[in-house]
Every structure is written in C-alpha cells, then in structure tokens.
Amino acid sequence: MNSSTAATGTHTAVYSVSGMTCGHCEKAVGEEIAALPAVTSVEADAKSGRVTVTATAPLDEDAVRAAVDEAGYELVGRA
C-alpha cells in the first residue's frame, strides 16, 4: 500500500520486514527509519511484520532498506 495526500502533504507507505519478533525489534526498526529525512511517524508491528511510515515527502525505498538493514532486519518490500 502506498498512498499520498496532496492536500496535507503526507505520504504513507507500508513495508514488510522480516525478522521482527518483539517490542525491542519494533523499536529498533522504528528508530532507524524515523531518522530518515521527512519521516514524521513510524509504526512497526512485529506480529504482522509490517511497518507503516508517514513522511512529508515520498521515501526512497533504498534508504528505507538501508535503515532496516542497520537495525538488523530485512526489508522484504512494500506490503
């Protein structure tokens, strides 16, 4: 899912991440992605393996992949 709202200038993307199993995993992934420019919120859910990212501009998937990798997990792709 990838949606954009021109009126508010927000962009939301949902990614699948493998390897998350607990709250610590969610926090690690969330902190790395939150450090990317333009990101305003990150919601990681270990149970579903999904990470929802909201930003003020479209995100480069390679940058998101690098952030997830830095946290020690694998970005599978967009959910």
The pLDDT of residue 8 is 61
Q: How many domains does the chain have?
A: 1
User: Is residue 69 over pLDDT 60?
Assistant: yes
Supply the range of the domain harboring residue 7. 2-78
Q: In sequence order, what are the residues at sequence separation of 6 or more whose Cβ sits closer than 8 angstroms to the Cβ of residue 50?
A: 14, 15, 16, 17, 44, 79
User: Is residue 3 over pLDDT 80?
Assistant: no
The pLDDT of residue 56 is 97
Say whether pTM exceeds 0.85.
yes
Question: What's the CATH code of the domain at 29?
Answer: 3.30.70.100
